[in-house]
Amino acid sequence: MKRTISSVYIVTKAGQAAALELAGSMHAWFRGQGIVADVFENGSAAWKQLAFAPEGIVLVLGGDGTMLSVSRRLVGTGVPVLGVNLGRVGFLAEVSSEHWQEQLVRLLDGRAGFARRVALACTVEREGTLLHSGVAVNDVVVHRGALARVVRLELAVQGERLGDLRADGLIVSSPTGSTGYAVSANGPLLHPDLDAFSVTPICPFMNALKPFVLRGDMEFSLVVHDTDADLHLTQDGQEGVALRCGDRIRVTSAPGGLVFAELGCASYFDRLRTRGFYKDQR
C-alpha cells in the first residue's frame, strides 16, 4: 500500500518536555519540506476535535501507552500512525529520536509502506441492553480486581458454546498486542500481518484451557457467571468498565482495522530479537 503524505499531525505525550521539544523540531523540518504540520498534546480538546485530511499521517511522540491511546482514535479511519521512540524500549515505535530526519525522509520520497492490521472491537451487554462499546489496538482483557479468587466465565465462538472457564481472567489480543500482556500469560506470538486474534486465559484453574487463535472474521464471546466477583473489562489497559454477573462480552475485529506506516528500519523478527523475545543459541 503506497500513498502521498500532505499533512502531518504530531501528537505528544501530555506534559513531557522532551516530546514537546522534538515536536517543535519536527514541525519546523516538515514545514521546510513543504508539508503542512501541526502539533497536538494527547488528550487535548484540539486533538479530540481534529478532522483528519485524507492524505494525513499521525506521528506519536511518547511511549507505548501514548501510542495506544492515540491509535485507538484512528481505528477505522484509514489514517496511518507512526511511533517515535523517545529513548525507552517501545515495541510499537518505528522511528528513532536520534535519526528521525533520515528515517522520515522515507515518508516523503515514496519509500514508506502502509499496512492495515487487525484492531479489536468489543461490546458489553447487560440485561439485553448495550452498556459499553469500544476498540483496542493491543488487547481486550477481562480480569478480576483486588481479591485473589478465580472467576467463572462461559466462553463461545461464533455462538457455539465452548464451556466454562475458571481463571483469574482472559486476554483477547490482536497480532500487534500479542507481544504484550498476552505473551506474558503464555499466549502465542502472532505475526502482525495475520488476519487473526488470540484468546489466552490468565492462570486457568487446573490448566483447563490452552491459548488459541481465531480467524479475524470470527466472534468471540463470554458471559460472566460470578455473582460477587470484582471483575473488569479493559481496552489496552487504559479504558474499560466494571462487570457484573450475567454481563455478555463480545469481541471481534474492528471494521477498517488500524493502518501503520512502515519505514523498513527493522524487520518484525529483528525487533523481536532486539527486545529479548528470542535469542540465537548458535
The catalytic site residues sit at: 64
Q: 55: Cβ–Cβ under 8 A, 6 or more apart, which residues?
A: 3, 4, 5, 6, 7
Question: What would the DSSP string read from start to end of 151-194?
Answer: EEEEEEETTEEEEEEEESEEEEE-TGGGGTHHHHTTPPP--TT-
Q: Is 184 annotated as a binding residue?
A: yes
Question: What would the DSSP string read from start to end of 55-91?
Answer: TEEEEEES-HHHHHHHHHHHTTT---EEEEE-SS--T
Q: Is 64 annotated as a binding residue?
A: yes
Q: Is 280 annotated as a binding residue?
A: no
Q: 99: Cβ–Cβ under 8 A, 6 or more apart, which residues?
A: none
Residue 226: name the closest of 154, 125, 171, 123 by CA: 154
Q: Is 166 annotated as a binding residue?
A: yes
Q: Is 65 annotated as a binding residue?
A: yes
Chain-centre distance of CA 14, in angstroms? 19
Angle, helices 17-32/100-108, rounded to nearest 10 degrees: 40
* Pairing of the two strands 248-253 and 120-126: antiparallel
Torsion over CA: 1, 94, 192, 260 (sign): negative
Q: Is 179 annotated as a binding residue?
A: yes
Q: Is 253 annotated as a binding residue?
A: no
Q: Is 274 annotated as a binding residue?
A: no
Q: φ, ψ for residue 38 (rounded to 5)? A: -135, 150
* Pairing of the two strands 220-224 and 231-235: unpaired
The grid cell for 280 is 540465537
Q: Is 281 annotated as a binding residue?
A: no
Q: Is 180 annotated as a binding residue?
A: yes
| Cα dihedral 224, 228, 229, 231 in deg (nearest 10) | 80
Binding residues for NAD(+): 64-65, 138-139, 149, 166, 168, 179-184, 238
Annotated binding site: 64-65, 138-139, 149, 166, 168, 179-184, 238
